[in-house]
Structure 1
Amino acid sequence: MCLDLKRTDAIATITLARPDRGNAINIELADALLAAVTACEADASVRAIVLTGAGALFCAGGDIDAFAQAGEEAPGLMRRLTGPVHAAQVRLARMRKPLVTAINGAAAGAGLGLAVMGDVAFAAASATFIGAYGAVGLSPDVGASWWLPRLVGLRQAQRLLLLGERIDAVEAERIGLVTRVVPDAQLMEAAMAVAGCLAHGSPTAFQRTRALLLDAPLADLETHLDLEVRALTACAAGPDAVEGIAAFREKRRPCFSA
């Protein structure tokens, strides 16, 4: 087994489970990740997702040993490997269910892109972050070059991806790479608590808000304001807004549809 998918009430927890290899991504894990994400997307009872790693590392990136063994076939292997991981990442970023990442240890290479993409990213105090691409003569994948400039700005992205600096969890929080640092022993408790809160939110509002945040850097102000109006009025026309407004006036907790 290279991946574990568990349900706790409305929360799905996806755990990368190759701890003996630092959860390095091989074809089996790449395919399993896409299958798990697809299953979560299709399951209306899942309202929030937690992504974490088993063992001491969150994810060491791509499986370098597999690349070495592939020899001249390495480019084809990398394309085969990144295909399902990238497809899983797009689904995680675009679906109606918010994502919490629980970064339990080192996030390197491809693991960096997965770690920081959470709507809420919790880092264990022992976690570290490194691009690690240049050291093996490769360029970024799994969205690292897309997420980092948006989260921490171009200069910090250059620091991490070109200089290859390894930073600790405190520095990651300082520059905005993660949401919060928590003691190692409290990581999953914190992640599950926040996921539980998110699971009670409006899926429609979450999906439209996530899309606005992802697409904001791509549009000028006028275009983005128009997108906001379209999203807002679409939400207002749905049952979640009716329930949310009623609950607010009645001073009760809203019960949003799946």
Structure 2
Amino acid sequence: MTSAPSPRAASPAGESPAPAAGPADPVDSLILHATDNGVSWLTLNRPDAMNALTWDQRERLIGRLADASADPDVRAVVITATGKGFCAGADLRGSPPAGGADGGDRVPGDVARMIRNGAQRFIAAVLDCEKPVIAAVNGTAAGIGAHLAFACDLVLAAESARFIEVFARRGLVPDGGGAYLLPRLIGPQRAKELMFFGDAVPAAEAARLGLVNRVVPDGELAKTAREWAERLAAGPTRALALTKALVNASLDTDRGTAFAAEATAQEITMTTADAQEGVASFVERRPPTYRGR
């Protein structure tokens, strides 16, 4: 088996390196993709633009995350970047027009529709992916780049990484689920502080607030991401998927609904081969070997 990709430097647009495969079209050179040891590595690759996310990159990432959900050979996902930043936000140049289908004047509803079909759909693809998703943040993550990281199940940050809620600086409200994600991660008061002022939050402070799971030296980011991803890839994939779904839904439901969902998820999990292996390994006092089924 080939070893997991070793990331290059990242840029402030939420990108960090992953294994490269031969590009089949231009977008393939902007979103590098490789699968290794059950891990799908997705690497933003526009270092000269600090990995600002274009429309076609976003659509490719949405497709790759859907593919990961459906592929039994993929059991974890890492999103990272090349250059000096993770993701500097959205690059609107080259995006489809926000106006009518004919590119005419914008009318009420056009922007809301663009946000629903664009930034919100993108963040939902991360939250809804049926495999655990790790963000390996190698540099600045700003705007939608920060929300991309926060939507992931686990966040690793290089010491040089920083997170910026840039929207108020531009006279805008947060999009891409920011006002949904941040209060759930750090509470409403802290979330408003970050969003009102738009100050850069260094990696160590982000970890203290609860936005990041672990901060590592820049040179150890790829290694740590590989270790975490391969641990997840060796785990009981369906149980992890259902656990992710339960946790993500927990803050939006009452106790009765949450308990009912938990019971249903356990019912489903108990029918998997991995659950049977988990019980058998316990009885036989040996490490389990999970197959993701």
TM-score by length of 2: 0.80
By how many angstroms is 1:38 displaced? 2.4
| 8 Å Cα contact 2:55-2:94 kept in structure 1 | no
The question of 1:134 aligning with 2:164 is answered no
Cα deviations by residue, 1:45-95 (Å, 9 ceiling, x for unpaired): 11100001111110011126668x989769958854762553343233223
Within the candidate set 83, 87, 98, 1:55 is matched to 83
Which residue of structure 2 lines up, in the alignment, with residue 201 of structure 1?
A: 235
Q: How far apart are the structure 2 equivalents of 1:95 and 1:36?
A: 10
Contact 1:31 1:85 in 2 (8 A): no
Alignment match, 1:255: 290
User: 1:34·1:84 contact (CA, 8 Å) conserved in 2?
Assistant: no
* Conserved 8 A contact 1:14-1:52: yes
Aligned to 1:171, what secondary structure does the other structure show? helix
> Aligned with 1:142: secondary structure?
coil
Please state if 1:17 is matched with 2:45: yes
Quick one: which of 96, 106, 114 aligns to 2:148?
114
**CA distance in structure 1 between the aligned counterparts of 2:290 and 2:43, rounded to whole angstroms:** 29
The SS at the match of 1:186 is helix
Distance 1:168 1:253 in 2: 39
- Per mean C-alpha deviation after superposition, the further-off stretch among 102-111 and 81-90 is 81-90
Relative to structure 1, the CA distance from residue 70 to residue 93 in structure 2 (aligned partners, 3 Å threshold; closer, same or farther) is: closer
CA contact (8 A) 1:2 1:28 kept: no
- Within 2, Cα distance between the matches of 1:15 and 1:82? 24
Question: 5 Å matches for 1:155-174?
Answer: 155-174=189-208
Decide whether aligned partners of structure 1 residues 13 and 65 sit closer, same or farther in structure 2, where only a CA change above 3 A counts.
same
Deviations 1:16-56 (A, max 9, x none): 11111111122121222122222222322111000011111
1:213 maps to 247
Cα-Cα RMSD = 2.4
Match of 2:152, SS state, is coil
Structure-2 change in CA distance of 1:5 and 1:82 (3 Å): farther
Write the letter of the residue equivalent to 2:57.
L
Q: Structure 1 residues 191, 109: CA separation in 2 closer, same or farther (over 3 Å shift)? A: same
**What is the aligned partner in structure 1 of residue 55 from structure 2?**
27
TM-score by length of 1: 0.91
**In structure 2, what residue type is equivalent to 1:39?**
D
Among 197, 213, 222, which residue is 1:188 paired with? 222
**Identical residues among aligned pairs (%):** 34
Partner of 2:13: none
Confirm whether residue 143 of structure 1 aligns to residue 171 of structure 2. no
Q: Return the structure number with greater helix share.
A: 1
- Mapped partners of 1:91, 1:22: distance in 2: 22
* 1-structure distance, mates of 2:217, 2:68: 28
Unmatched 5+ stretches in structure 1: none
| Count of paired positions | 257
Q: Cα distance, 1:147 vs. partner? A: 1.3
SS for the counterpart of 2:197 is coil
Structure 2: 5+ residue runs without aligned partners?
1-28, 100-104
Assess, with a 3 A threshold, how the Cα gap between structure 1 residues 257 and 128 changes in structure 2: closer, same or farther: closer
Structure 1 outlier segments of 4+, above 4 Å: 64-67, 69-82
Distance 2:138 2:268 in 1: 38
1:165-224 C-alpha deviation (Å, 9 max, x unpaired): 211000000010000000011101101110000001112111111111111111222332
> Tell me, what secondary structure is at the counterpart of 1:96?
coil
- CA distance in 2 between counterparts of 1:130 and 1:144 reads 11
